[in-house]
Structure 1
Amino acid sequence: MTDNKQTILIVDDTPANIDVLAGTFQQDYRIKVANSGKLAIKIAQMTPAPDIILLDIMMPEMDGYEVCSILKSQPNTAHIPIIFVTAKITAEDEIKGFRLGAVDYITKPITPLVAIQRVKTHLALANQNRELYLQVKNQTQEINKTKLEVIQRLGRAAEYKDNETGLHVQRMAQYCHLLAIAAGMNEADADLLRDAAPMHDIGKIGIPDGILLKDDKLTAEEWEVMKTHVNIGGDILFGPDNSSVLQLAHTVAMTHHEKFNGNGYPEGIAGEDIPLVGRISAIADVFDALTSPRPYKKAWDTEDAFALLIEEKGEHFDPRLVDIFLQHKQEILEIKERLSDL
């Protein structure tokens, strides 16, 4: 039979006080105890976390205020309601506790019926808040999912205009993610880059079809027009209130054609002055462009594309990132196969 009792963590350095509180609540609640602030924090961080904490203030080494402050500063414990249990309380003490995030005070010696009712009230409020939080969280996740889908489809729209199937942006995004993780970027930032990368060439929407779809080499004048897709993309993606993914997409769009030797465009910045996401995107974009058919060329063999990356180390590409990319050939080829245009 499933035990649906909620858990109370009782924190007090005096065994007699723990016995009184445990005796008051043990019939209707599951009880955990801690005789120090450090142990209380450790127990609160366990899974499942306690549903509510009854916390003594006057304890050696770490008092209740410090315990409360630490628990409220950590995402995995901030939601747990804390009730201070103390023999001595002033208005200043109450204000201090509430500012730290406590929800109530119970004075010693406790009156069992009063203590039971206050715990019951705050657990009910916590449950309501948790349900509201989950509703808002689900709605936010749905909104963010929709935004991301719009961003990805806009990226694909630019590739369709460029006679692509749209899989280029997906492959390029996956290459970016793999290289970012391998280069030491944390997973959250690498995920953000993967989501932003499909917008790297959105500015191609503004390039005339006669230039964008030309099946021959561009003239010098046409090439200058083609290069403007970077600034067009930057204008499309720029905004003072952009989400983090659009801010990163703007950076990628504006820097993925810069070269490590400073001979890229539009700004001609060099080396590590180029944002890391731009240096990563440059490798991912060129590798996929080389190994994919275009109106003006056939797809390169992958080994020839890898050889060009090596040849351009320190020129077009960041040498360290090229070495890392080459260390993950097998994963690169698996992505290419999985997201093949054929």
Structure 2
Amino acid sequence: MTDSEARRPLVLVVDDTPDNLMLMAGLLKESYRVKVASGGEKALRIAQTAPAPDLILLDIMMPDMDGYAVCRRLKADAATRDIPVVFLTALSEQEDEQAGLELGAVDYITKPISAPILLARVRNHIRLKEAADYIRDKNLFLEAEVERRTAHMRAIQDVTIMALASLAETRDNETGSHILRTQHYVRALAEELRHHPRFAPFLTDAVIDLLYKSAPLHDIGKVGIPDAILLKPGKLTVEEWEIMKTHATLGSDSLARAEDRLEGDSPSFLRFAREIAEAHHEKWDGSGYPRGLKGEDIPVSARLMALADVYDALISRRVYKEPMSHEQAAAIILDGRGRHFDPDVTDAFLRLADRFQEIAERYADQPIP
């Protein structure tokens, strides 16, 4: 078969009468590749075999499986449902034509066949099929391209978040592993609480993903704190502590300005990053900072980060302290239930205590040589 012949549309003719098959093949062979089937089962096998037909000319009155049954099977199969079917039949009643079209056939030609009419209709339906295939392929390409570019933008977003978070961490006594641990703690808490009546309306799959991605920016405001305070190895004075506490507002304000530049009403990672940056030092009883928010007034995102951040601070080594054991940290978290932390978030932590310990070990700080 030459390349030009291989590019010609393929027509499948289905008829239980050999003479009809020969007649149809003879009419079509000059312009199309032709396959024939003398029964429904064979027709279905051919239709499901690559290359698939571009058009099926299907007799209705056949033994064992009539054309209506064949058409139903074709339209029920995702691999063949888009192949146009034209019924060829001696049945000429309006009800017969309606029945065929309702099954998904694109046309209905009565016998005896008029060669010019048959060829004209086959040509028209082949052209329609080619146009439909082009549009479908174009749409699939565009969908794939949109998904590719969206994935690329997500990757850029994720890398940018981590770069900004790492920048903040390099100016602090903490390490990059703190970023990884806290974002995994936050996701674990969110997934544990997603079916809780108080949290279920908020903690959707999309929101949990955004919380995970935005969590690393919780201390981004520390880039605005002077080194003499941020890197001080000893205890801060009252005045220094007041300056240190401004990192929550500095981070929130910078993220808010960035968020204002985004268009659209859907929640962005910057919204949650802003909430977390500002409110993760708030306490359930209202004694936290910077605004002294209390209870439900503290965003859920910040309540999750509050516990995650405190737990990680407790188990981590700093220049001014030794790390606590997991058990000691868990006891302090429990003691803060209803005072520092949302009681339900605390209970979720207690159920996830082993998971927190596993995360801490997996992303443990590497010893400094």
The answer to whether the superposition gives a TM-score over 0.5 is yes
Query: Which among 185, 203, 213 is matched to residue 231 of structure 2?
Result: 213
Distance 2:155 2:244 in 1: 32
Distance 2:282 2:345 in 1: 15
Residue 133 of structure 1: how far off its partner (Å): 2.0
Distance 2:176 2:52 in 1: 51
Residue 22 of structure 1: how far off its partner (Å): 6.0
Tell me the equivalent position of 2:306: 282
RMSD: 3.3
Distance 1:7 1:260 in 2: 68
**Secondary structure in 2 matching 1:269:** coil
Unaligned runs of 5+ in 2: 1-45, 55-60, 85-99, 110-120, 195-202
**Secondary structure in 2 matching 1:119:** helix
Are residue 262 (structure 1) and residue 272 (structure 2) matched?
no
Change in Cα spacing, 1:21 to 1:337, as seen in structure 2 (3 Å) is same
Tell me the equivalent position of 1:32: 75
Q: Which amino acid aligns with 1:250?
A: R
Change in Cα spacing, 1:50 to 1:220, as seen in structure 2 (3 Å) is farther
Are residue 309 (structure 1) and residue 333 (structure 2) matched?
yes
Tell me the equivalent position of 1:175: 185
Counting only pairs closer than 5 Å after superposition, residues 175-254 of structure 1 correspond to structure 2 as 175-184=185-194, 185-238=203-256, 239-242=259-262, 244-254=268-278
Change in Cα spacing, 1:6 to 1:137, as seen in structure 2 (3 Å) is farther
Distance 1:138 1:232 in 2: 35
Unaligned runs of 5+ in 1: 9-14, 34-42, 55-84, 88-104
Distance 1:258 1:7 in 2: 67
**Secondary structure in 2 matching 1:31:** helix
Distance 2:324 2:190 in 1: 24
Distance 2:139 2:216 in 1: 37
Distance 2:83 2:341 in 1: 55
Decide whether the 8 Å contact of 2:187 with 2:208 is kept in 1. Answer: yes
Decide whether the 8 Å contact of 1:6 with 1:51 is kept in 2. Answer: no
Q: Which amino acid aligns with 1:127?
A: D
Counting aligned pairs with the same residue, the percent is 38
Residue 305 of structure 1: how far off its partner (Å): 0.7
Change in Cα spacing, 1:131 to 1:6, as seen in structure 2 (3 Å) is farther
Distance 1:151 1:261 in 2: 31
**Secondary structure in 1 matching 2:74:** strand
Q: Which amino acid aligns with 1:241?
A: R
State which drifts further: 183-192 or 261-270.
183-192
Tell me the equivalent position of 2:148: 138
**Secondary structure in 1 matching 2:75:** strand
Change in Cα spacing, 1:329 to 1:131, as seen in structure 2 (3 Å) is same
Counting only pairs closer than 5 Å after superposition, residues 95-174 of structure 1 correspond to structure 2 as 109=108, 111-174=121-184
Q: With structure 1 as the length reference, what TM-score do the two structures score?
A: 0.71
Residue 107 of structure 1: how far off its partner (Å): 7.2
Decide whether the 8 Å contact of 2:75 with 2:81 is kept in 1. Answer: no
Change in Cα spacing, 1:309 to 1:125, as seen in structure 2 (3 Å) is same
Q: Which amino acid aligns with 1:294?
A: R
Decide whether the 8 Å contact of 1:158 with 1:205 is kept in 2. Answer: yes
Residue 135 of structure 1: how far off its partner (Å): 2.0
Decide whether the 8 Å contact of 2:282 with 2:293 is kept in 1. Answer: yes
Q: Which amino acid aligns with 1:218?
A: L
Tell me the equivalent position of 2:362: 338
Change in Cα spacing, 1:123 to 1:164, as seen in structure 2 (3 Å) is same
Decide whether the 8 Å contact of 1:255 with 1:275 is kept in 2. Answer: yes
Q: With structure 2 as the length reference, what TM-score do the two structures score?
A: 0.66
Query: Which among 271, 284, 293 is matched to residue 295 of structure 2?
Result: 271
Distance 2:271 2:312 in 1: 24
Change in Cα spacing, 1:285 to 1:137, as seen in structure 2 (3 Å) is same
Tell me the equivalent position of 2:22: none
Distance 2:277 2:250 in 1: 9
Change in Cα spacing, 1:314 to 1:5, as seen in structure 2 (3 Å) is farther
Distance 1:316 1:221 in 2: 23
Change in Cα spacing, 1:7 to 1:247, as seen in structure 2 (3 Å) is farther
> How many equivalent pairs are there?
272
Larger Rg: 2
Q: Which amino acid aligns with 1:131?
A: F
Residue 183 of structure 1: how far off its partner (Å): 0.6
Change in Cα spacing, 1:137 to 1:4, as seen in structure 2 (3 Å) is farther
Counting only pairs closer than 5 Å after superposition, residues 7-86 of structure 1 correspond to structure 2 as 19=67, 31-33=74-76, 52=82
**Secondary structure in 2 matching 1:313:** coil
Decide whether the 8 Å contact of 2:225 with 2:247 is kept in 1. Answer: yes
